[in-house]
Structure 1
């Protein structure tokens, strides 16, 4: 029996028994920032890993217009090698090659920005739905803090998710502190339905923040939200980037 077949058997068993909690390790995608354009209007990142259930390596590259909060045409670039014996490096190299014309066009590797906060799902001290940070990585610290808050919301399940026996979630992301001052700014709010690309989302976590300060133009912050969804071997994790200019 292949790993894919074992994964399907596990998922079917969990469904039949009504087990909605994680019993095995899911697939938490790794996050790799790829940089900003010189003006901060473009941001790109990669997520990659080994797909649970199948054992197939994958890499996905997202290129985002930070002003419109929208993907650039012909993106995301998604690569999956449908072979359990394939190495993760194969999927990552193929995705990098496919995306390279666009990444080079905007000179993203020349402007990496700063990962000023990171809160992976394995972190046990930091709360999942709150994250405070400063916009500059420096010691001694300078600049006043920013703070994000995430609220999970009820979402209408798609046909693919309605029989799983677990609530489907959307989210609202807010900026509650801006440069040391109290704020109440909604950065993102889902409607009743969530995008099908999230599969069957059961929860969210504020996973980190990227910042970039262009030579000319306003600073750009990018909130990183980890989407937890129903998978074959537990909960899977995929990344969403929410850009904003505070």
Structure 2
């Protein structure tokens, strides 16, 4: 699994805002879209870096068939000069990624955010989402239940003294179209170094698109929680989710 962390309707951006405080770096996330054939998905994350206070913005593009980054990606910007702003960091990273976004026509296929569970939500299970894949009224189709499981892993020597334990992630469906199932859709083979000293995960959203043949494509948005200077940091990865067993 390649971890990845990935314009512009203000209301949509507001919905996608995951929250940030001066006590930690909880990145905001915004899907950019799918390619016309459903093989590529890109998203943006941005925020203020914990400790340094530098604004940053990253755009990640995934080959969903291979579950890897597209060549030449991700695009990362961190501004370290006085007076730097998140707006400037986001403008710069979008400028850097513009050719990639246009080449794959991502803005023409923004997809649908069919489930979202931000870190500010109270009283919800951070490791489970129950949703329908089609945004429609009257409802189309039955419920899907996607579950994230944290799997204990040996502690990386670089994280000793920083965290007490670390975990990889596993995703599985316990319900598809209203029927009980036990379908594994992803299991980490290792914890990528880019995740840092991981303390946990949050299953935070599902974005749907469609393939060239019209078949549905889904991507799970997962927040990676890791040790920060002043609390836990939250960054984003996208995990391809096959919609059929």
Q: TM-score scaled by structure 1? A: 0.86
CA contact (8 A) 2:26 2:47 kept: yes
1:204 and 2:210 correspond: no
Residues in 1 aligned to 2:221 and 2:145: alpha-carbon distance in whole angstroms = 13
1:87-146 CA-partner distances (Å, limit 9, x unpaired)? 111111111011111110000000011000100111112101111010111222221111
Which residue among 119, 135, 151 is the counterpart of 1:153?
A: 151
Residues in 2 aligned to 1:241 and 1:227: alpha-carbon distance in whole angstroms = 10
Which residue among 111, 115, 118 is the counterpart of 1:117?
A: 115
1:74 and 2:91 correspond: no
Residues in 2 aligned to 1:127 and 1:110: alpha-carbon distance in whole angstroms = 33
Structure 1 position 159, deviation (Å): 2.9
CA contact (8 A) 2:34 2:106 kept: yes
Residues in 2 aligned to 1:94 and 1:217: alpha-carbon distance in whole angstroms = 34
CA contact (8 A) 1:218 1:245 kept: no
Structure 1 position 215, deviation (Å): 5.7
- Which residue in 2 is equivalent to 1:29? 27
**Uncovered stretches (5+) of structure 2, i.e. residues with no partner:** 1-21
Structure 1 position 168, deviation (Å): 1.2
3-state SS of paired residue (2:213): coil
- Which residue in 2 is equivalent to 1:59? 57
Residues in 2 aligned to 1:239 and 1:84: alpha-carbon distance in whole angstroms = 27
Structure 1 position 165, deviation (Å): 4.2
Structure 1 position 223, deviation (Å): 0.7
**TM-aligned CA distance change 1:187 to 1:53, over 3 Å:** same
3-state SS of paired residue (1:83): coil
**Uncovered stretches (5+) of structure 1, i.e. residues with no partner:** 1-23
- Which residue in 2 is equivalent to 1:131? 129
Q: CA RMSD in A?
A: 1.4
- Which residue in 2 is equivalent to 1:241? 238
Deviation >4 Å, runs of 4+: none
Q: TM-score scaled by structure 2? A: 0.87
Number of residue pairs matched by the alignment: 222
CA contact (8 A) 2:134 2:140 kept: yes
Residues in 1 aligned to 2:160 and 2:231: alpha-carbon distance in whole angstroms = 18
Residues in 2 aligned to 1:74 and 1:159: alpha-carbon distance in whole angstroms = 30
- Which residue in 2 is equivalent to 1:194? 191
Residues in 2 aligned to 1:202 and 1:113: alpha-carbon distance in whole angstroms = 30
